[in-house]
Amino acid sequence: MPDTPPPAPEGPGPDPDPGRRVSTPGGPGPAGAPIAASAHGRPGGGSRRASGAEALPYARERADVVGAVRALVADRLVVGTAGNVSVRTGDGAVAVTPSAVDYGALTPGLVGVHAADGTALDAPLRPTSELGLHLAVYARTSARAVVHTHSPAATALSVLVPEVPPVHYYLALFGGRVPVVPYAPYGGPELAAAAAGALAGGSACLLGNHGAVVTGASLDQAVERAGYLEWVCDVALRALSAVPGQARAPRLLTPAEMAEAVERISGYRPGPPQADG
């Protein structure tokens, strides 16, 4: 893999207002949907307890997680439970989406908070199967938030190319390049390590035959970047299909890989945290 350029700064993206997000790219580049007010606030500096009568630990971060997944669903970057998000708290913990809970029914009280080693600090349900990926990214980068989606264009492009082709300058938002991590079973240590390594040089990567991972200095920024990445991947797919002779055979899962995925998904349902974390 070629050397990566310095990562993009973890500051605001094209929209300088941190309290706003972008549903689809617009503004300085090609025409797109207008910038809309954020459906969720910015993560705080570790609000372990909310003020007043609210006693839910890390209430602000948990509410931000709920707002982020609802924004991703509204932008059609996530369907059902197909994706996960997390945000760092001020004391080093991580608020993260639970496993197998439909995001339309997600509430702050169902969002789990885990230590950097994965130990449940305040979690009524099992965390996302990709908790290890989120924790590995935080261990390797300065990111404050992680968004993982199975968005269509990013997933489709991930089976065709080794990295997102530089079809547009918006790649600069992610450090100049977005590599594609080879396929590995979801929820496993191999995928977590590979994604964290790819994100050490930028703020986005694709997961082969799987989806995308984007980081940010806040959940607002990570959600915004996920929208820009999906747009760039869609442009790349259109460009690749428009050139005669450029059709590429997709990388398909092998029967063994599919059988392993079937076995893993068979146990995909909500439940309490496991004793071993």
- Catalytic residue numbers read 130
Task: Write the DSSP symbol of residue 5.
Answer: P
Cα dihedral 50, 143, 145, 264, rounded to 10, equals -130
Calculate helix-pair angle for 59-74, 219-242, nearest 10 degrees: 20
Distance of alpha carbon 56 from alpha carbon 66, whole angstroms:
14
Q: Which two tokens stand for residue 49?
A: 């307890």
Distance of alpha carbon 133 from alpha carbon 94, whole angstroms:
12
Question: Over the range 107-127, which residues count as b (16 or more CB within 10 Å of their CB) and which as e?
Answer: ebebbbbbeeebebbbbebbb
Distance of alpha carbon 254 from alpha carbon 261, whole angstroms:
11
Distance of alpha carbon 14 from alpha carbon 66, whole angstroms:
24
